[in-house]
Structure 1
Amino acid sequence: MRFWRTTCAALGALTLAACATAPGGTDTASANSAIDKNPYPSTYKAYPGAATALVGATVFDGAGGRIDNGTVLFADGKIVGVGSADLAIPAGYTRVDATGKFVTPGIIDIHSHLGVYPSPSVEAQSDGNEATAPTTPDVWAEHSVWPQDPGFSRALANGGVTALQILPGSANLVGGRSVTLKNVPARTVQGMKFPGAPYGMKMACGENPKRVYGGRGRMPSTRMGNMAVDRQTFLDAKKWMAEGRKGRDLANETLAGVIDGEILVQNHCYRADEMAFMIDLSREMGYKISAFHHAVESYKIADLLRENGICSAIWADWYGFKMESYDGIPENAAFLQNAGACVIIHSDDENGIQRLNQEAAKAQAAGRRAGIIIPDEQVIRWLTLNPAHAMGIDEMTGSLASGKMADVVLWNGDPLSVYSRPEKVWIDGALMYDSDNRKMRPVSDFELGQPGEGDVK
């Protein structure tokens, strides 16, 4: 099976018009009536699947539940039922004996740069940072995604990743829009776009923006410069909104989407004090932060993050590779979980995305050594429902619940063991990877190589 295939017909563009009235009586609906907020709609269509019953497995449902000797049913792309061994299996279902194995929802990576920093990592394909201005809310990550990146198939086969958010890099204070993808074969990024997923907007604080732009002799060159540029950027957007949103302005349209709550803020931030400043900024400008990414010092303000409903998307143990990461600790996830805050394990790496389950297990073990016992079924939530929540897709995926997308992984052993790996992966009920079937081990067209001498060109 060649991994990248033609997808089916497009879903048709959705034109969404704002209906509020701006101060002074300007009808923003008429001002925006010509603006298509979804000009590059998803053309994703699920691959064909078969009604399937996974029987006898240990089931982690992604929402914190565990069923020993459980049964998972899915058909027509949706979860039909999850229960114990006595759950009735309808006629016509393909029965898969999962005795001694484990079932989880598909793994979701909230922070990936696959496609925008693809393999091979060469300058010609370095498309993740539009490092030409401190704020670039007008750029969209999807316009850099290369669907043939071999990293997508590696994440599927080795990591059980069924959905992922592709973000711009962190050179800029505002880096642009993210895009959420289903990890499926497609010739175009639209064929991978997760239908109904909201856009995200990447923001960054700390060392990166001041290093990139201060070194060029322009603002920001300090953390106070970072804050000033952020504030002015949002003030300019609010002014544009108050004046009736007149004329097309790609940057302000994205910022307005953030303020209106339609676009979710994904904020790269390491230090606790800077996260607190970002929360203050969000209150001042009237938007909400969905998640802090990397967030190595989240444990210092776990209560503040819990009270504000902000997730921490973190590594298990990366620290010390630059000054702002110096206070990273391996107990970060455990302390957050213990405080009742939202924990997500992310990758930010084309190799790390292939072992997010192992990274979560490392964070769990660090907590255990500190005296914090976190059950396996709660740890799985760090990789499934929590990232889905922070990406705005938790009503559709992230847990094994009736009516949700049948994004399912069958593991050959405990997914929190270094010795386990995905045996089968379904996306919307379609079997996309099978370790026992060579024809179901996807390969990118790029990896097939170039025609040899004498071949037809």
Structure 2
Amino acid sequence: MRALARLTVGVGALALAACSTANEDARPRSAAAASSDAPYASTYTRYPGRPTALVGATVYDGKGGRIDNGTVLFRDGEIVGIGDAALSTDGYDRVDGTGKFVTPGVIDIHSHLGDYPTPSVDAHEDGNEATDPTTPEVWAEHSVWPQDPGFSRALANGGVTALQILPGSANLMGGRSVTLKNVPSRTVQGMKFPGAPYGLKMACGENPKRVYGGKGRMPSTRMGNFAVNRQTWLDARKYADGDRSERDLGKETLAGVLDGEILIQNHCYRADEMALVLDMAKEFGYKVAAFHHAVEAYKIGDLLRENGVCSAIWADWYGFKMESYDGILENAALLQKAGACVVIHSDDANGIQRLNQEAAKAQAAGQRMGMNIPDAEVVSWFTLNAAKAMGIGDVTGSLEPGKMADVVLWNGDPLSVYSRPEKVWVDGALLFDALDPKRRPVSDFELGQPGEGDVK
């Protein structure tokens, strides 16, 4: 049975790959931003789709707008139009969305799928190069296993169309992240989001000082963390200001940050450390795109707003180690009130399947505190805000003409625990359909969760 499943998926993937090769002229427009001679360049080509009109649904556009009885049109991989029932649908396949909801594709800014895939066994733990406090030379994509069943689960159960894969947080500098389109592929290059910038994963606090202090070496304290970071940045600045003729993989990554081409994605829990990191960023001339986990971000919402830094957070995970004890359920709502950027992230193979529900929990906590955040704004927490913090907000994350047709049709209110994706399009290609057994993705190593593939 397992062999048959592998054969079926393999043949299907090859057939789709052949179709997509014939449509290479219809790649997402951001593909031009990717250098053709870059090492490990993206080979992503969208799967073929049909001109589609979603009609009659409640539409959340991802940037704070809501349209009742709305219409969304897409063809050739792009959003063509969004409006009310008066929008012409001539030449499009009509999908009746009456009583249903439409959002942009869900985006997870913090995932370890592929680097910590299921089955969760030691042999699959490839996300932390915990051999030195700074390892900017490693790239997360070189550990990604494209057949991780987590990818298809995230698509089918969570409507996830794009995600950032990060190294783990054992190190002060863990290495480069990679942004992926959530599509079936035999290679990680075939999943790489065209034109997306790399990120550099950094980590504050307990993790690096515990890992390396436990080995009897620096850093073993928070001041040690900053000392190692600062010296590493000093060395990187010297390299960046030189002729760069002698290649150094780690310093190339750090120089990319200093050049503004690689985004800092910083694991950090405590407000005081986030403030110190912002000072360090000013000292060495780089910018933090987002603080991840950030359970105390609510304490410095104004500072985060002024520095243009997003907070990628959970709805209610806190208290599992000392630096996370001052987390509160109202974190997201207080950040929103302060005018700061809020992103709901997962950091978990199960959590990625319900980012919409996590956002709803955070919204409800704010409501209990007297802060009523409209549903349309909450949707941006797991769509456009995530895209912006990943450097891809110009091409995805919202339903706007010219952007990628990454779209989810939900069978009910996406902020309800009773709702699930009914259909998911990636670049206009229908890759999941809950009503069609032939469009329920299943990996070669599917473990048989109910509702997936042909498992009964």
- For 2:190 and 2:429, locate their aligned partners in 1 and report how far apart those are by CA, in whole Å: 15
Residue in 2 that maps onto 1:279: 278
Q: Matched residue of 1:128: which SS? A: coil
1:383 partner letter: F
Q: Matched residue of 1:445: which SS? A: coil
TM-score, scaled relative to structure 2: 0.92
1:5 partner letter: A
TM-score, scaled relative to structure 1: 0.92
Gaps of 5+ in 2: 1-7, 449-456
Residue in 1 that maps onto 2:195: 196
Contact 2:34 2:41 (C-alpha < 8 Å) held by counterparts: no
CA shift, 1:244, in A, is 1.7
CA shift, 1:218, in A, is 0.4
Residue in 2 that maps onto 1:367: 366
Q: Structure 1 residues 162, 258: CA separation in 2 closer, same or farther (over 3 Å shift)? A: same
Contact 2:33 2:194 (C-alpha < 8 Å) held by counterparts: no
Matches for 1:53-452 after TM superposition, within 5 Å: 53-91=53-91, 93-447=92-446
Query: Is the counterpart of residue 5 in structure 1 residue 13 in structure 2?
Result: yes
Q: Matched residue of 1:446: which SS? A: coil
Residue in 2 that maps onto 1:52: 52
Q: Matched residue of 1:235: which SS? A: helix
Q: Matched residue of 1:191: which SS? A: coil
Q: Structure 1 residues 37, 275: CA separation in 2 closer, same or farther (over 3 Å shift)? A: farther
- Cα shift readout 1:10-52 (whole Å, capped 9, x = no counterpart): 9999996xxxxxxxxxxxxxxxxxxx98201110010010000
Contact 2:278 2:288 (C-alpha < 8 Å) held by counterparts: yes
Q: Structure 1 residues 205, 182: CA separation in 2 closer, same or farther (over 3 Å shift)? A: same
- For 2:329 and 2:232, locate their aligned partners in 1 and report how far apart those are by CA, in whole Å: 35
Residue in 1 that maps onto 2:451: none
Contact 2:66 2:376 (C-alpha < 8 Å) held by counterparts: yes
- Cα shift readout 1:350-409 (whole Å, capped 9, x = no counterpart): 000000000000000000000000000000000000000000001110000000000000
Contact 1:14 1:38 (C-alpha < 8 Å) held by counterparts: no
- For 1:94 and 1:314, locate their aligned partners in 2 and report how far apart those are by CA, in whole Å: 38
Q: Structure 1 residues 232, 43: CA separation in 2 closer, same or farther (over 3 Å shift)? A: same
1:47 partner letter: Y
CA shift, 1:2, in A, is 2.4
1:51 partner letter: P
- For 1:15 and 1:79, locate their aligned partners in 2 and report how far apart those are by CA, in whole Å: 21
Residue in 2 that maps onto 1:21: none
- For 1:173 and 1:433, locate their aligned partners in 2 and report how far apart those are by CA, in whole Å: 38
Q: How many residues align?
A: 429
Contact 1:266 1:289 (C-alpha < 8 Å) held by counterparts: yes
Gaps of 5+ in 1: 17-35, 450-457
2:362 partner letter: A
Contact 1:113 1:167 (C-alpha < 8 Å) held by counterparts: yes
Q: Structure 1 residues 53, 143: CA separation in 2 closer, same or farther (over 3 Å shift)? A: same
Contact 1:13 1:39 (C-alpha < 8 Å) held by counterparts: no
CA shift, 1:88, in A, is 1.2
- For 1:173 and 1:215, locate their aligned partners in 2 and report how far apart those are by CA, in whole Å: 15
Contact 1:179 1:199 (C-alpha < 8 Å) held by counterparts: yes
Identity of aligned residues (%): 76
